[in-house]
């Protein structure tokens, strides 16, 4: 099965459209949370996902718009954008987000937004923290988002040790029998210094992954953010990938 793995779309329809076009035909799309927040088109991004075979889980920004998280825990620009996103959402979009689980298992893969241990909030930014998380899922692979940085953690030994490996772009990488935690990066707000939208293709039969980047019309998204009076910092960061 050819799976499109994407995360952290953040209401950026131009970036999502570019990813879907670039990925080509897939059997299913797995969305790892944070469909909304930050950007200007939350309903359109939800509808775009709904128009294709997919499964999805919730992220902290999805819970933010639902009032399931205290927005005091968000930085001020994220909070303003989250409140704006909340106002835009149709009853159908709210119902869709409300139904998203925190975690799910698809074949050999566990899907969690932040981490398998604390799906909504934990950031896997170091091999120590990632290593401790291997005890919190049973499948060979766990797919996460949340940091907006594409990375792969490979478990070296049962004692929680693991390697952090930056994913090479546009290279098909065959996974061995080790266990993995893999982050595809962010579609709508990359934070690794590369402003292009990030995603992952996964061949579940061959255990092959391919990390890809695709340029999109950043200016178009920024113009919509300006028109909506969304925080300037949120739009300017898009062009530097931070």
| Rounded distance between C-alpha atoms, residue 193 and residue 77, angstroms | 20
Shortest spacing between CB 24 and Zn ion, in angstroms: 25
Closer Cβ to Zn ion, 175 or 182, answer by number: 182
DSSP state of 75: -
What minimum distance in Å lies between the beta carbon of 82 and Zn ion? 11
Q: Minimum distance between the CB of residue 188 and Zn ion, rounded to whole angstroms?
A: 8
DSSP-H helix ranges across 33-122: 42-50, 60-66, 76-88, 91-98
Q: Count the site residues for Zn ion by CB under 5 A.
A: 2
Query: Widest CA span of the chain, in angstroms?
Result: 52
122 binding Zn ion? (CB under 5 A): no
Instruction: Name the nearest CA neighbour of 112 among 200, 11, 192, 5.
Output: 5
What residues numbered 137-166 form the site for Zn ion, per CB under 5 A? none
- Pick between residue 140 and residue 242 the one whose CB is nearest to Zn ion: 242
Q: Is 8 in the site for Zn ion (CB under 5 A)?
A: yes
Write down how long the chain is.
242
Smallest distance from the beta carbon of 196 to Zn ion, in angstroms? Answer: 17
Q: Among the candidate windows 6-14, 62-70, 73-81, 160-168, which touches Zn ion by CB under 5 A?
A: 6-14
8 or 41, CB closer to Zn ion?
8
Dihedral, CA atoms, 15, 21, 22, 25, nearest 10 degrees?
Answer: 140
Residue 62 near Zn ion by CB under 5 A? no
Which of 47, 52, 61, 53 is closest to 7 using CA atoms? Answer: 61
Among 9, 34, 58, 213, binds Zn ion (CB under 5 A): 34
**CB of residue 13 vs Zn ion: minimum separation in angstroms?**
16
Whole-number Å distance between alpha carbons of 196 and 68 = 31
Using CB under 5 A, list all residues that contact Zn ion: 8, 34
């Amino acid at each position: 099965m050819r799976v499109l793995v994407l995360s952290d779309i953040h209401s950026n329809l131009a970036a999502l459209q570019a990813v879907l076009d670039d990925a080509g035909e897939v059997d299913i799309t797995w969305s790892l949370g944070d469909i909304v927040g930050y950007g200007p088109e939350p309903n359109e991004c939800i509808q775009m996902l709904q128009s294709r075979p997919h499964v999805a889980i919730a992220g902290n920004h999805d819970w933010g718009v639902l009032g399931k998280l205290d927005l005091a825990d968000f930085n001020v620009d994220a909070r303003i954008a989250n409140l704006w996103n909340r106002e835009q959402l149709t009853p159908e979009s709210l119902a869709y987000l409300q139904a998203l689980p925190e975690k799910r298992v698809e074949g050999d893969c566990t899907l969690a937004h932040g981490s398998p241990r604390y799906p909504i909030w934990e950031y896997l930014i170091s091999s120590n923290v990632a290593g401790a998380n291997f005890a919190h899922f049973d499948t060979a692979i766990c797919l996460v988002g949340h940091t907006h940085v594409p990375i792969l953690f490979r478990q070296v030994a049962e004692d929680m040790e693991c390697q952090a490996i930056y994913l090479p772009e546009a290279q098909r990488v065959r996974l061995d029998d080790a266990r993995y935690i893999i982050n595809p990066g962010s579609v709508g707000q990359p934070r690794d210094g590369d402003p292009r939208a990030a995603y992952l293709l996964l061949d579940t039969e061959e255990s092959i992954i391919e990390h890809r980047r695709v340029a999109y019309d950043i200016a178009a998204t920024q113009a919509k953010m300006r028109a909506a009076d969304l925080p300037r910092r949120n739009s300017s960061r898009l062009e530097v990938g931070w």
